[in-house]
């Protein structure tokens, strides 16, 4: 992977970061990283925010622009949107709801089979994060003091979900069915609401 692709991937998965952090991660000079960032800025893929600090000059944090985020978009997203529009035109909202329900059930059965050998919640969540990563969501699982956070740094169905928000609710329903009623799942961040990623807080109910 070329350095610029590594930078873009890091910004996508980790969010705003300084040139110094990138230089340390990729074992390059800060000047070299800044040159890459300036080139990406000229292409409209990144921009920056200067963050004030207590002492010294503000710290410059680089992040992806909307164009930069689109670099990670699934190449089939336009086709998916057109198909959803066609289904709704031909069969109405009821027909569209049936298509989404069918997709939900297929996704649930696929994940359920993959999680069938998991013995506890830790194993289930680790496997679920792996499955979501394989499906293009750039997913990772973070253990917190109160439970877990499932992070999805990318949404390959974002354009389709913007057209049909029930797709997002459908995915949340799949997670809840997989993990059971004794587990609480709450979406905290949402890409189609304008945030950088989707995150789900997961806690075990007493």
CA angle at 188 for the pair 182 and 190, rounded to the nearest 5°: 125
Which pLDDT score is estimated for 84?
84
- 178 within 8 A of 128, measured Cβ to Cβ: yes
pLDDT at 19 over 60: yes
Which pLDDT score is estimated for 41?
94
Which pLDDT score is estimated for 39?
93
Mean pLDDT taken over the chain: 90
Assign 205 a pLDDT band (cuts: 50, 70, 90).
confident
Which pLDDT score is estimated for 77?
63
- 111 within 8 A of 133, measured Cβ to Cβ: no
Which pLDDT score is estimated for 87?
87
Give the sheet arrangement for strand 183-189, strand by strand. 139-143, 148-152, 198-204, 183-189
Q: pLDDT tens digits for 62-101?
A: 998 888 887 776 555 666 777 888 888 888 989 999 999 9
Q: pLDDT tens digits for 127-178?
A: 999 999 988 899 999 999 889 999 999 988 888 888 888 999 999 999 999 9
H, E, C per residue of the chain:
CCHHHHHHHHHHHHCCECHHHHHHHHCCCHHHHHHHHHHHHHCCCEEEEEECCCCCCCEEEEEECHHHHHCCCCCCHHHHHHHHHHHHHHHHHHHHHHHHHHHHHHHHHHHHHHHCCCCCHHHHHHHHHHHHHHCCCCEEEEECCCCEEEEECCCCCHHHHHHCCHHHHHHHHHHHHHHCCCEEEEEEECHHHCCCCEEEEEEECC
Which pLDDT score is estimated for 24?
93
CA angle at 193 for the pair 96 and 52, rounded to the nearest 5°: 165
Assign 120 a pLDDT band (cuts: 50, 70, 90).
very high
pTM value is 0.73
Which long-range CB contacts under 8 A does 161-165 form with residues at least 24 apart? 161/192, 162/192, 163/81, 163/84, 163/85, 164/84, 164/96, 164/100, 165/192
Tokens of 46: 């990144």
Q: Can you tell me the mean pLDDT for 59-63?
A: 91
For the chain, percent of residues with pLDDT exceeding 90: 60
Cβ neighbour number for residue 206 with a 10 Å cutoff:
4
């Amino acid at each position: 992977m070329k350095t610029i692709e590594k930078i873009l991937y890091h910004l996508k998965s980790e969010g705003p970061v300084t040139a110094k952090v990138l230089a340390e991660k990729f074992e390059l000079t800060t000047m070299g990283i800044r040159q890459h960032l300036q080139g990406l800025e000229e292409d409209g893929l990144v921009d920056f925010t200067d963050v004030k600090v207590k002492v010294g000059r503000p710290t410059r944090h680089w992040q992806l622009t909307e164009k930069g985020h689109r670099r990670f978009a699934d190449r089939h997203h336009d086709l998916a949107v057109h198909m959803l529009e066609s289904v709704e035109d031909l069969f109405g909202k009821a027909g569209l709801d049936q298509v989404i329900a069918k997709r939900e059930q297929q996704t649930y059965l696929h994940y359920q089979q993959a999680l069938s050998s998991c013995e506890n919640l830790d194993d289930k969540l680790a496997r679920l994060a792996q499955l979501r990563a394989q499906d293009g969501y750039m997913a990772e699982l973070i253990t917190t003091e109160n439970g877990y956070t499932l992070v999805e740094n990318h949404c390959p169905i974002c354009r389709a979900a913007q057209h049909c928000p029930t797709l997002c609710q459908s995915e949340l329903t799949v997670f809840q069915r997989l993990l059971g009623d004794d587990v609480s799942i709450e979406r905290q961040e949402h890409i189609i609401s304008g945030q950088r990623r989707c995150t789900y807080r997961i806690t075990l109910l007493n």
